[in-house]
Structure 1
Amino acid sequence: MNWEYFTQVSFAIQVHIIVAFIALTLGIIMFVRRKGTGSHKVIGRVFAVMMFLAALSAVFIREINEGRFSWIHIFVPVTFFALFETFYYIRKGNLKGHKRAVKGLFFGALLIPGAFSFMPGRTMWMIFFA
């Protein structure tokens, strides 16, 4: 791992990486643990905050497209929408909708863009493989 590269990227990228890895860890924990428990609710709330911070920090990451948003920024509104759905459905008692929204949040707003971040030349590629 190239920690020197991590220390040289912008603060927004550093925050983004840290909260995304925390969200990834919490998401995996939530998928393997029993649902509906007190710890599930606490972990879920922290996961949601980390996803919100990941999406928010992504808004300030614009190094690869001359200061403009790039195609990967489409995952920012996807994340915000999935977060809204997650809380909306659980408040309404719709467990199926909640489960679908959380899976969409985890896979569609965390794993898929996360996989793209490991493309050669991108920051995660440079940190892990350069």
Structure 2
Amino acid sequence: MPTATLSLTNFITQPQGPAGFDVGSRTRIVIALVGITLTSLTLIALTRGALGFAPSHPNIRELAIALHVTTVLPAIPLGAYLLLAPKGGKRHKQLGKLWIGLMLTTAGSAIFIQSGGSFSFIHIFIPMTFWASYKVIKTARSGDMVGHKKEIMSLYLGALTIPGIVAFSLPGRLMNVWLFW
């Protein structure tokens, strides 16, 4: 097996952080697959939309949706990287702050994305994101790495992955239109 493939495999399957924070090999694989899949689907959809290969979607002209898409796109791979890379160092802390900022901006912009003037079921993830972001910061500052791990996993897999899957699955949503139509 080539060295690059071997090192990528090790990065995905081998623990990279202090004791108490690392996730198991299966969870690491799930995180890597989610990160790669959602990032790829988003890039494909955005490319198709930007190059005119997908139907025009009127919602992209809305500032809230443009901001939402702009901040969620880097949040997907950055979150996966933070969960898979070594923990506790200066880089992890700086990138973690950036990621939380992206997540809060993504959730904040989602408040203004409404269907027919009202909220939809997917808006339940907005307060979840705000609460989990607060808990992520609180547990990290207090040194509670077990709690930090729990909150960060719920934020990434719950507040980012589930709405991402919904965005691609529901007909008429921007990502669904740009990816499949």
Same fold (TM over 0.5): yes
Matches within 5 A, 1:46-65: 46-62=98-114, 64=115
Contact 1:75 1:113 (8 Å CA) reproduced: yes
The residue that corresponds to 2:126 in the other structure is 76
The residue that corresponds to 1:92 in the other structure is 142
Larger radius of gyration: 2
Q: Aligned to 2:168, what secondary structure does the other structure show?
A: coil
Q: Aligned to 1:2, what secondary structure does the other structure show?
A: helix
The residue that corresponds to 1:112 in the other structure is 162
Greater shift, 19-28 or 8-17, is seen at 8-17
Please give the TM-score of this superposition, normalised by the length of structure 2: 0.67
Q: Give 4+ residue runs of structure 1 displaced > 3 Å after superposition.
A: 4-8
Contact 1:15 1:57 (8 Å CA) reproduced: yes
The residue that corresponds to 1:121 in the other structure is 172
Cα RMSD for the two superposed structures? 1.4
The residue that corresponds to 1:44 in the other structure is 96
1:102 to 152, 172, 176: 152
Q: Offset of 1:121 from its aligned partner?
A: 2.0
Aligned residues: 128
Give structure 1 stretches of 5+ with no counterpart.
none
CA distance in 1, matches of 2:96, 2:86: 12
Task: Report percent identity of matched pairs.
Answer: 36
Are 2:82 and 1:30 equivalent residues in the alignment? yes
Q: Offset of 1:14 from its aligned partner?
A: 1.1
CA distance in 2, matches of 1:26, 1:87: 17
